[in-house]
Amino acid sequence: MVRTPLTSEQRDRGRALGQILRAARGPRPASSVAAEAGISIETLRKIERGAIAVPAFFTVAALARVLDLDLAELARTLDGFEDRRDGASMAG
């Protein structure tokens, strides 16, 4: 199966997701967060640096739970990131 290449917007949004998750993790060890979320440390590191730009929904949901992030707010933030990239106002 051939995968469709990611767009630059998808890659940018993936990097933004990684930055948000890394900031939410704060000083907690990545290994601890990964274990609690039920994912490998390698997967968490790849998500945090944007190498996995479109992680599976349940992976993001597990990380949001462990990091005490509201999944709906996380989605709105990432939508806002896309809006800012397009030059649109976030005021609504």
27-78: pLDDT as tens digits: 999 999 999 999 999 999 999 999 999 999 999 999 999 999 999 999 999 9
Alpha-carbon distances, residue 39 vs 6, 35, 63, 73 (angstroms): 23, 6, 9, 22
For 59-68, give one letter per residue: b (16+ CB within 10 A) or e: bbebbbebbe
pLDDT of residue 82: 59
User: Taking a C-beta distance cutoff of 8 angstroms, is the pair 84, 90 a contact?
Assistant: yes
Q: Check pLDDT > 60 for residue 88.
A: no
Residue 59 lies in a domain: yes
The answer to whether residue 56 is domain-embedded is yes
Report the CATH number that the domain containing residue 66 is assigned in CATH: 1.10.260.40
Residue 46 lies in a domain: yes
Task: Indicate the number of domains in the chain.
Answer: 1
Instruction: Find the domain containing 74 and state its range.
Output: 8-85
Cα–Cα distance for residue pair 84/81, rounded to 1 Å? 5
